[in-house]
Structure 1
Amino acid sequence: MADIAAPIRSRQVPSHALVGFFVLTFVISWTAIGIYIIAPEWATSSFGAISGTHPFFFLATWAPAISAFTLVLFYGGLAGLKAFLSRLSIWRGSAIWAAFILIGIPFVYMIGSLMKGGPLVAPLPPEGAGAAVAVLFVMLFLGPFEEFGWRGVAQPILQRHVAPFWAGVIIGTVWGVWHIPAFFLASTVFADWNFFPFLLGNITLAVLVTPIFNAARGSLLWPMLFHWQLINPFWPDAQPYDTWILVGVAAVVVWWNRASMLHRDGAVTEVIPGGGTAG
């Protein structure tokens, strides 16, 4: 019988668990949203109209985090989960990346919006700035929570086998496909977007956050701040120009960091810090 008090080093999340992570994430999200696509009248009458504040929308958005916590608990137990969550406290990182997150991303949105004849910042809702701040706070508990899965589990496991650049490409592709049901919901912003530029954008963003993630030694805090900026309600809708700008930025970033992006040496590979290696 296995010793339940075994050290965390024997409880690393194995590579084959990545399949389970992806499957569980898609099942949760696509089921929660899919019923509103397949049987919209029944779903609305039974659970209420879907919206950005609906419990099912939160469930679908939290699916990567739910899947990540499930796997970490299964393989690492409560001690493993505590160690996994300690990655939220890794705050040291590059000042250049901090400037990119805080200044560079908003700048891209503003330039992209101007290119399409839009405003520098998103118009305030009728309720005023207070309502926009409230939405910003709510957004903190939506998209950034996905990073428990994408960067918490998927990125380290993939980097055991492929270079960080390719890990970003794979996650970005999965991330984009995962959003497909949202494009069929009239109540979401995705309904007005074209999927393929969006998919390219997801791949680009996943590649961009990769060197930030590795430079911060597996921090979950930095990718979450990055993700939060992407959905900040104060930044204007700049589709598709922001995507093309970010593609150019990503190309420069990959070239500048080619030594670390195109080789696995030094890449973060642990899901549970101190959990050792896993096949």
Structure 2
Amino acid sequence: MTDLIRRHPLIAFLTMAYLGSWAGWSPWWLSESGLGLPYELPVSAIAGVNQLGLFAGPFAAALIVTRVVEGREGVRRLLRRLVRWRAHPGLHALALVAIPVAAGAGYLLVRAPAGDPGLIAPLAITYATYLLGGPIQEEPGWRGFALPRLRRRLSPIAAALVLGVIHCFWHAPLFLTREWDTARGDAGQLVAYLVLTVSLSVVLSWLASGSRGSLMLAVLGHNGVNWALFAAGALTGSAVTSTWPAALGLAALALAAIALTRGRLGDTDVRPGSGPAVEPLTSARSPAHGRAAPTAE
């Protein structure tokens, strides 16, 4: 099994990420609120199951495959990128300001915000809660593990687009549930969600590659979208029933990212196989045989 993982690390990661999350979420999407098995989960249980799926999916998959391919030092390098904060100030502004504004402004243009000062504390608490409830578990896998390996084969834009599609369909079981807080009123909302995740992938790829692999910025940018959708509902006093305003705002930001970077998205070389500006993806020494473990992807 380890030899297979070393030969096909990206395929191994994606398989583990999908199966780990879908299995972890299964008590939720199989329940009465999902496929309809005759049992219900309380809200507290749903929150726990959601966390289980997140940790068992891209987070665990990234750690396991990195450990097999690059050894313990590779895992330490990956986790250190979660606390790497040094980057151009413009990238910090992109993660903390531009992404939330792009995702949320459309809702506020349609319906004026309430302007209630009492919302400041709940919005701040929710930002921190959302930060711990998804992006930290996802980004070590998506931008930390998968993106550099996709760049071995694809240009920066193509790698970002492919990863966005992968990220979108990873959420598939959650579309079966009632409680997941994403608009799903009609088939058009599924298209909107695809546009949103692919556009976000382009912008987060710029953040990750432009900061030489900082996962902290990718986490903050990812969290900005989740929080902006909540904030839009809180500020307007009505639940978000369409993903299109956020999707179109992020699509505009993604096009701006492509234009501003001339398609590089933070990479120094746009050619497939050049790889993003992160630590080298070194081959690990096999502890059993004392030789380099080859990687095919």
Using structure 2 for the length normalisation, give the TM-score. 0.76
Structure 2 partner of 1:152: 144
Deviating above 6 A after TM superposition, structure 1's stretches of 4 or more consecutive aligned residues are 120-124
2:81 and 2:149 map into 1 onto residues whose CA distance is 15
Q: Which of 237, 257, 271 is the matching residue for 1:263?
A: 271
Shift of 1:191: 5.2
Shift of 1:121: 7.6
Are residues 1:215 and 2:218 paired? no
Rate the CA distance shift 1:274–1:114 in 2: closer, same or farther, 3 A: closer
Cα distance in 1 for partners of 2:165, 2:115 equals: 29
Question: Residue 47 of structure 2 aligns to which amino acid in structure 1?
Answer: H
- Distance between the aligned counterparts of 1:141 and 1:150, measured in 2? 16
Work out which of the residue numbers 97, 100, 109 in structure 2 matches 1:103: 97
Residue equivalent to 1:79: 73
Shift in Å, 1:110: 4.1
Give the structure, 1 or 2, with the largest relative contact order (CA under 8 Å, sep 6 or more). Answer: 1
Q: Residues 35 and 43 of structure 1 are in contact (CA less than 8 Å); yes or no, is this contact kept in structure 2?
A: no
Task: Look up the equivalent residue of 1:263 and give its one-letter code.
Answer: R
1:25-61 alpha-carbon deviations (Å, 9 max, x no partner): 111221233343334365746xx33568622110112
| 2: CA distance, partners of 1:75 / 1:217 | 21
Please tell me whether the aligned partners of residues 28 and 49 of structure 2 are also in contact (alpha carbons under 8 angstroms): no
Change in 2 beyond 3 A, CA 1:22/1:269: farther
1:32-71 equivalent positions in 2, closer than 5 A? 32-40=24-32, 44=39, 48-49=41-42, 54-62=47-55, 63-71=57-65
**Matched position secondary structure for 2:42:** coil
| Alpha-carbon distance change, 110 to 259 in structure 1, aligned in 2, over 3 angstroms | closer
Whole-angstrom distance in 2 between the partners of 1:83 and 1:33: 29
For residues 108-129 of structure 1, give each alpha carbon's deviation from its aligned partner in whole angstroms, at most 9, with x where no partner exists.
24421123325378997xxx75
User: Would you say the 8 A contact 2:107–2:245 is kept in 1?
Assistant: yes
- Structure 1: unaligned runs, 5 residues or longer: 1-12
- The alpha carbon displacement at 1:273 in A equals 4.9
- Asked whether the equivalents of residues 95 and 218 of structure 2 are also in contact (C-alpha less than 8 Å), the reply is no
The unaligned stretches of length 5 or more in structure 2 are 234-239, 284-293
Deviates more, 1:129-138 or 1:200-209: 129-138
CA RMSD across the alignment: 3.0
SS in 2 for 1:54: helix
Equivalent residue, structure 2, for 1:10: none
Alignment identity in percent? 23
Change (3 A) 1:55 1:259: closer
Give the 3-state SS of the residue equivalent to 1:22 in structure 2. Answer: helix
